[in-house]
Homo-oligomer: A and B are copies of this chain.
Amino acid sequence: MQYVAPLRDMQFVMHELLDSQAHYQRLPAYQELDNQTVNSYLQAAADFAETVLSPLNSVGDKEGCRFVDGQVFTPTGFKQAYQSYCELGFTALAASPTYGGLGLPSSLAKAIDEMTGAANWAFSMYPGLSHGAIATIEHHGTQAQKDTYLQHLNTGAWSGTMCLTESQAGSDLGIIKTRATPNADGSYAITGQKIFISAGEHDLTENIIHIVLARLPDAPAGTKGISLFIVPKFLVNDDGSLGERNAVSCGSIEHKMGIKASATCVLNFDGATGYLIGPENRGLNCMFTFMNVARIGTAIQGLAASELAFQGAIRYAKDRTAMRAMTGVKDTDKAADRIIHHPAVREMVLTTKAFAEGGRALIYFLSQYVDMIEAGQGIDGIDVKFADEMLSLLTPIAKAFLTETGFESANHGVQVYGGHGYISEWGMEQNVRDTRIACLYEGTTEIQAIDLLVRKVLGSKGQLLANFTTLIDEFCAKYADDDNLQQFITPLQALVKTWLNLTQSLAVAAASNADDVGAAAVDYLYYSGYVTLAYLWARQAAVAYQKLAAFGDGEQSLQGDFGFYDAKIKTAQFYFGRILPRTQTHVARIKAGSATVMAMDIEQFIY
């Protein structure tokens, strides 16, 4: 299906909801960035996403990657598209100008990533994976390592990977087995097998820089004995030219449910030359830098899935006819009414819309904190520590909640099409298949849930949560006397109160039965996600009410901006009325405890 960049909504969130111009002006590195400049970047990305990447999305799905004698060939058109992507500078939007980056704020880069990702997620993974390698080298590399690798990674001439997973070790990186043995020249010989390496081998770039987790000899067991190594596909000579082929090879690529144009590689390291990056045995700590970036990237995949589902669903629902509406004939010129008139279809369409636009607000909101962290500077009484804490709290919520709701939305997209949704040509089933991975990689939903509840919320004794609920309280206080907003403020306050109460109960439970916490974590995450989006929907409605007041009689066309703001309010009302009831189940399940979950003896599970 043809993707259309949702520029109006993106600009609403950036400029009208989050006042990005004022935000950028207060961060010296970005202060030249006015709305007009931002919009020109967005327009360029929109054009590229719509005209180049979107048409290749089904091509990539149909063709997949080909694996021939250790080489991987990407689908038709990918090489040329990658070339254009590099020329537009999209590989290095937020990278430092010192090494060829454009130096844009992350919040703008994320908006561009949303469009290129929504248009063609499998494609976007090739440059996307480089970001992890770039971030790792930027933060932990020596000057020589930066000089050797960053420029080429930023321009896209080379790409990067993150080599973490092994067949026996996914979520639990403490049990990886890949070994690093010191060579006489200070480098290391890396030996082991890594799996699920996205962009591990391909034909888009002349070199691939792998960041590999491995164990030094005599490293402590578990997570405290893991180090990071740079392992280039082609070794780099002192003059920067490419040298000999390193002993890393692609053994096969996976056949998988979706993102078929993204090569998921088995990489075999057979004494490959690697260079230690960061301190010995501190590899996992160094990885945290990268993990937040990758998790936000994956959250964007969820948002993109909701947006694609919404676009596909509403187009079909406004065109397809079936039955008459229950309240009587609507489309008198047709033999049946358009299905958008049926409540169940509307419900699905509005759900995708609420998750797409709500998810966008969350990603962009959270990205402003990333800007502050990267600029090393707070704004308006927010210091970097606060920004970092907000990001720590919101990242697992965004990653898990937006990918799960993205997958739900993708399925609504299929469902609105009926049997046609199951057929490849419409693109709706591809969205389901492509999106399914987002709930798995970069930490499953269950891992995010533990991260949120145990590490972030309980681990901070509630401080990280209190930071956020204070923001929500301030919003509620600001609109305490606004008649329009009461419909949102009252339930939002109740949700926050319950959130804090649940947290308090779980803190108590943690002391007596850790399984109660484990059994509650996923529901707690969903609950947190629904409240977070409720806050952002209430804020969007507040802006929309303000804007609507400026329209005079005769200017109130539902097809222009008036209609847009009015739709914002109606979508917020839908979210509060029809989506938030889901929180009741999550609360009830958290209160149900873990007893019935843990009661069964393992041997009673047969098969």
A residues with CB within 8 A of B: 4, 6, 8, 165, 168-172, 174-175, 196, 221, 254-258, 310-311, 314-315, 317-318, 321-323, 326-327, 335-336, 338, 340-347, 349-350, 353, 407, 411, 414-415, 418-425, 429, 432-433, 436-437, 439-441, 444-446, 449-450, 513-515, 517-519, 521-522, 558-559, 563-564, 566-567, 570-571, 573-574, 576-578, 581-582, 584-585, 588-589, 592-607
Contacts and interface: CB of A to CB of B under 8 A. Distances in A.
Contact of A422 (B256, B343, B519): B256
19 contacts: A170-B322, A170-B419, A175-B322, A255-B424, A256-B424, A256-B429, A318-B602, A326-B514, A327-B515, A340-B602, A340-B605, A344-B518, A345-B446, A347-B522, A350-B597, A414-B436, A419-B440, A564-B606, A567-B605
B4 A607 contact: yes
Ranked nearest first, the 3 interchain pairs of A and B with the lowest CB-CB distance are A581-B588, A343-B518, A326-B514
Contact of A343 (B170, B444, B594, B602): B594
Given A170-B322, A344-B521, A350-B597, 12 more contacts: A170-B420, A196-B419, A254-B423, A256-B422, A257-B432, A347-B519, A418-B444, A563-B601, A570-B604, A573-B599, A577-B593, A578-B592
A336 B175 contact: yes
Contacts of A570: 596, 599-600, 604
Contacts of A597: 343, 346-347, 350, 574, 578
Q: Which of A8, A345, A519 has the most CB of B within 10 A?
A: A519
A411 B432 CA distance: 11
Contacts of A514: 326-327
Contacts of A603: 558-559, 563
A163 to B, nearest CB: 14
Nearest to A446: B344
A24 B110 CA distance: 65
Contacts of A576: 596
A347 B522 CA distance: 10
A171 B323 contact: yes
A560 to B, nearest CB: 10
Nearest to A328: B514
A573 B596 CA distance: 6
Contacts of A598: 343, 346
A340 B573 CA distance: 41
B349 A605 contact: yes
Given A326-B514, A577-B592, A605-B314, A422 B446 contact: no
Contacts of A578: 589, 592, 596-597
A563 B4 contact: no
Given A343-B598, A517-B326, A592-B578, A257 B311 contact: no
A230 to B, nearest CB: 24
Contact of A415 (B165, B338, B432, B445): B445
Contacts of A347: 519, 522, 597
Nearest to A323: B172
Contacts of A513: 327
A604 B170 contact: no
A307 to B, nearest CB: 10
Contacts of A317: 605
B558 A601 contact: yes
Nearest to A600: B570
A255 B425 contact: yes
B441 A604 contact: no
Contacts of A439: 415
